[in-house]
């Protein structure tokens, strides 16, 4: 029996809607606040949520993203007494099934529920398995779990996939996982690094060439598109694809056919496309640096990977995984991380994301060779300096008065005396920096 959770602080409305839900043969559960809703969601496997926008302990719109996180989130219908166009748009973008304004008829309230539950049931019958950690994707956060579920759907559907995310978030790992779980898994996984495509030979690299088609073409050469036949073509950093190639590649995507350089015959290639970028292609298209039509064609299925700083709990999981992997490879348990070591990892912003974290762990293991415990001192010096400077700056900011003007400071020393006082410290710092650079 489907379970429907009605979250509304209007007691009469909540009871009437629960009664209507029960009449359709579903189990209805009421909640008057977000706190009550979270307790119900923790105990029950809820299929659909009616969610009021204004609740005593928060906004339903703001809670929507959290409700929709995870591998099998409930469908959500937003209900509000005060419609707002911006709120309606945000609700749909966050995954709401519908947005209903009060007052509404019984049919207007229940018809979206029936359709959403029918859709959910069909989706479960045809469910594509979510990617697992066997694919090399490590983490336990809700944000990552949602991405893995989406990637599993993309793999099962076979549609072209466009992965976006900051540098180091794991775009190629996700691309390989989608390939391994999809219908082209038995074929090759061909990587096109668009940042290294040679300008004059990019067309030849992608489409191949016939013998004698240009100076130096002493033999026929298969291009990467031909090599990807029956498998997956991964366009890494697609934003760097030369403009002159983009229009030709658009035709390849539309028809899955191409013509080698110097060739007269059109060739076919059955490949699954996965493209990735860390750039804002929409902004590039507005500036004329990327074709709008190619951008639309790439965006059949978009997968946005979250930065590591937004993946709660995954830093510790990645540390545990990396240490276990290194221990297995070296046949040595290796050092265990101290609480202080983990605390520093958790406090860093990680602009380089997973790639930066793993590199930092590896460097720390080298520094701790032969020791039993990983300490903050084993972290790279530059990272420790950045973290220390940030901590000191934060404390200095916190020490400033919150309101009003500070008391008049004592008269500052003269410029000459200040410089003289700081000179020994500056000279000492310069010697330390010079020594560490040589080392």
pLDDT value at position 133?
56
- C-alpha–C-alpha distance, residues 364 and 384, integer Å: 12
Q: Is 153 found in the same domain as 101?
A: no
Q: Is 268 found in the same domain as 195?
A: yes
Three-class SS state of 176: helix
Mean pLDDT of 275-282: 95
- Specify the higher pLDDT residue, 212 or 355: 355
Where among 125, 153, 170 does a domain terminate?
125
Are residues 212 and 262 in contact, defined by beta-carbon separation less than 8 angstroms? yes
Q: Are strands 98-101 and 75-80 parallel, antiparallel or unpaired?
A: parallel
Q: Is 155 found in the same domain as 33?
A: no
Q: How far is CA 242 from CA 128, 198, 227, 238, 253, in A?
A: 35, 9, 21, 9, 16
Mean pLDDT of 153-159: 84
Q: What is the pTM of this model?
A: 0.65
Residues 6+ apart with CB under 8 A from 360: 345, 379, 380, 383
Mean pLDDT of 98-116: 87
pLDDT value at position 330?
82
Residues 6+ apart with CB under 8 A from 336: 323, 372, 373, 374
pLDDT at 109 over 90: no
pLDDT value at position 125?
66
- C-alpha–C-alpha distance, residues 57 and 34, integer Å: 6
Where among 81, 109, 125 does a domain terminate?
125
Q: How far is CA 131 from CA 137, 154, 202, 388, in A?
A: 8, 10, 33, 38
pLDDT at 91 over 50: yes
pLDDT at 235 over 90: yes
- Specify the higher pLDDT residue, 418 or 198: 198
pLDDT at 288 over 90: yes
Burial 24-61 (b: 16+ CB within 10 A, else e): eebebbbbbbbebbbebbeeeebbbbbbbbebeeeebb
- Write the DSSP string, 402-432: SSSPPPPPPPPPPHHHHHHHHHHHHHHHHHH
Are residues 373 and 338 in contact, defined by beta-carbon separation less than 8 angstroms? yes
pLDDT at 305 over 60: yes
Mean pLDDT of 143-162: 87
Q: Is 24 found in the same domain as 145?
A: no
Q: Please report whether residue 263 resides in a domain.
A: yes
Three-class SS state of 240: helix
Q: Is 148 found in the same domain as 114?
A: no
pLDDT at 204 over 90: no
pLDDT value at position 70?
67
- Specify the higher pLDDT residue, 362 or 261: 362
Three-class SS state of 322: helix
Mean pLDDT of 384-390: 84
pLDDT value at position 435?
56
pLDDT at 193 over 50: yes
Going by pLDDT thresholds of 50, 70 and 90, the confidence category of residue 182 is confident
Three-class SS state of 101: strand
pLDDT value at position 418?
39
- C-alpha–C-alpha distance, residues 89 and 338, integer Å: 46
Mean pLDDT of 121-128: 69
Q: Is 207 found in the same domain as 240?
A: yes
- Specify the higher pLDDT residue, 406 or 358: 358
Q: Is 312 found in the same domain as 300?
A: no
pLDDT at 198 over 50: yes
**Which range (42-56, 69-83, 268-282, 313-327) has the least confidence?**
69-83
Bridge partners (DSSP) of residue 58 are 55
pLDDT value at position 426?
47
Going by pLDDT thresholds of 50, 70 and 90, the confidence category of residue 201 is confident
Going by pLDDT thresholds of 50, 70 and 90, the confidence category of residue 42 is confident
- C-alpha–C-alpha distance, residues 319 and 10, integer Å: 47
Three-class SS state of 208: coil
Q: Is 148 found in the same domain as 190?
A: yes
pLDDT at 114 over 80: yes
Q: Are strands 267-268 and 189-193 parallel, antiparallel or unpaired?
A: unpaired
Main-chain dihedrals φ then ψ at residue 186, nearest 5 degrees: -80, -15
Which element (helix H / strand E) includes 163? Answer: strand 161-164
Mean pLDDT of 119-132: 69
pLDDT value at position 217?
66
Which element (helix H / strand E) includes 367? Answer: helix 353-367
Domain holding 11, by residue range, is 3-125
Q: Is 294 found in the same domain as 152?
A: yes
Three-class SS state of 369: coil
195: domain CATH number is: 3.40.50.300
Where among 258, 274, 304 does a domain terminate?
304
pLDDT value at position 420?
44
385: domain CATH number is: 1.10.8.60
DSSP tag of 79: E
Q: Is 324 found in the same domain as 272?
A: no
Sign of the alpha-carbon dihedral angle for 304, 310, 315, 316 = negative
pLDDT value at position 391?
76
Helix-strand-coil split of the chain, %, nearest 5: 50, 15, 35
Mean pLDDT of the chain: 83
Please choose, from the candidates 40, 2, 38, the residue with its C-alpha nearest in 3D space to the C-alpha of residue 21. 2
**Which range (174-183, 298-307, 377-386, 410-419) has the least confidence?**
410-419
Q: Which residue has the tokens 């190629």?
A: 172
Q: How far is CA 371 from CA 146, 332, 364, in A?
A: 38, 12, 11
Q: Is 281 found in the same domain as 141?
A: yes
Q: How many folded domains does the chain comprise?
A: 3
Going by pLDDT thresholds of 50, 70 and 90, the confidence category of residue 221 is confident
pLDDT at 101 over 70: yes
13: domain CATH number is: 3.40.50.2300
**Which range (155-159, 270-274, 433-437) has the least confidence?**
433-437
Work out the widest C-alpha separation in the chain, in whole angstroms: 86
Q: Is 159 found in the same domain as 50?
A: no
pLDDT value at position 400?
59
pLDDT at 167 over 90: yes
Going by pLDDT thresholds of 50, 70 and 90, the confidence category of residue 162 is very high
pLDDT value at position 216?
66
Going by pLDDT thresholds of 50, 70 and 90, the confidence category of residue 1 is confident
pLDDT value at position 434?
59
């Amino acid at each position: 029996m489907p379970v429907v959770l009605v979250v509304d602080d209007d007691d009469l409305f909540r009871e009437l809607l629960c009664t209507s839900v029960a009449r359709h043969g579903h189990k209805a559960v009421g909640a008057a606040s977000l706190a009550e809703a979270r307790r119900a969601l923790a105990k029950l496997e809820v299929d659909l949520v009616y969610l009021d926008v204004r609740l005593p302990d928060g906004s339903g719109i703001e809670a929507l993203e959290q409700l929709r996180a995870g591998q099998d989130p409930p469908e959500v219908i937003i209900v509000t007494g005060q419609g707002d166009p911006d709120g309606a748009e945000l609700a749909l973008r966050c995954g709401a099934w519908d947005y209903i304004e009060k007052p509404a008829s019984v049919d207007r309230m229940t018809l979206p529920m029936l359709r959403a539950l029918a859709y959910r049931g069909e989706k479960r019958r045809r469910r594509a398995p979510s990617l697992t950690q066997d694919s090399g994707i490590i983490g336990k956060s809700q944000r990552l779990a949602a991405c893995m579920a989406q990637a599993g759907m993309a793999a099962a559907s076979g549609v072209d996939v466009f992965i976006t995310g900051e540098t180091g978030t794991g775009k190629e790992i996700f691309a390989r996982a989608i390939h391994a779980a999809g219908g082209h898994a038995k074929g090759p996984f061909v990587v096109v690094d668009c940042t290294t495509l040679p300008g004059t030979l990019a067309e030849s690299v992608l489409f191949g060439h016939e013998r004698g088609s240009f100076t130096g073409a002493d033999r026929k050469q298969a291009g990467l598109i031909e090599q990807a036949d029956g498998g997956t073509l991964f366009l890494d950093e697609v934003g760097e694809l030369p403009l002159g190639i983009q229009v030709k590649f658009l035709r390849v995507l539309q028809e899955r056919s191409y013509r080698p350089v110097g060739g007269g015959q059109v060739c076919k290639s059955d490949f699954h496309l996965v493209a990735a970028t860390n750039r804002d292609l929409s902004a590039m298209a507005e500036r004329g640096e990327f074709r709008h039509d190619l951008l639309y064609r790439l965006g059949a299925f978009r997968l946005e990977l979250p930065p590591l700083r937004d993946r709660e709990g995954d830093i510790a999981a990645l540390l545990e995984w990396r240490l276990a992997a290194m221990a297995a490879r070296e046949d040595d348990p290796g050092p265990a991380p101290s609480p202080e070591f983990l605390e520093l990892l958790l406090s860093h912003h990680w602009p380089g994301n997973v790639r930066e974290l793993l590199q930092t762990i590896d460097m720390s293991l080298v520094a701790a060779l032969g020791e039993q415990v990983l300490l903050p001192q084993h972290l790279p010096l530059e990272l420790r300096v950045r973290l220390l400077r940030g901590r000191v700056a934060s404390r200095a900011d916190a020490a400033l008065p919150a309101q009003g003007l500070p008391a008049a400071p004592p008269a500052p020393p003269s410029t000459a005396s200040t410089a003289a006082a700081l000179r020994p410290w500056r000279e000492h710092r310069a010697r330390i920096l010079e020594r560490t650079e040589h080392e």
